[in-house]
Amino acid sequence: KNDFNEMKNWISIVSLLIFFGLCGCGSSFKQKSDLSFSTGDYYFNMLDSNGNKIASGKFSITSISDNTATGLYKFENKYINDFSAFEVMSGEFNGQLDTEKKTLWMNTNPKISDNNVFINITAGKFSYIGEWRYSTMRGIQNWGKIQFFESK
């Protein structure tokens, strides 16, 4: 019986050492836990103010220079066909990147100053999330959430 208790103690000690060793080494592993914006493709889901999916597709950031980002986007699925903002979204964007705050403000119709969908998105620890606003000369007409996902 003494040998059995001694064995249980050794197993407990070894298990604790392995557990603490793994926890302590966690910071030395490269983890994708602090996202940022860079050139490349990002899939997106566009949601209305009630959380219903409006559209999904892909944003491609083609250039980042100084604090300006430019690129293209396309809708792969439109879940609501009568969404009036689709008409003003041109397929190209430009925006301002704040690398310190890890935010990207985007104008989805850079050739027109009013009647636009503006996106403000933040790179968080594990996800990209933000809001879009459809704005005309009369003010904000519609808004909702947007989620980005890095293309693998």
Q: What is the pLDDT of residues 11-46, one digit of tens each?
A: 656 555 554 454 444 433 333 447 889 999 999 999
Specify the pairing of strand 92-98 against strand 139-150.
unpaired
- How many CB atoms neighbour CB 78 within 10 A? 15
CA nearest neighbour of 75 among 95, 90, 65 = 90
Q: Is the pLDDT of residue 133 over 90?
A: yes
For residue 59 the two structure tokens come to 């944003």
Q: What is the pLDDT of residues 57-100, one digit of tens each?
A: 999 999 999 999 999 999 999 999 888 888 888 899 999 999 88
| Amino acid at the residue 11 | I
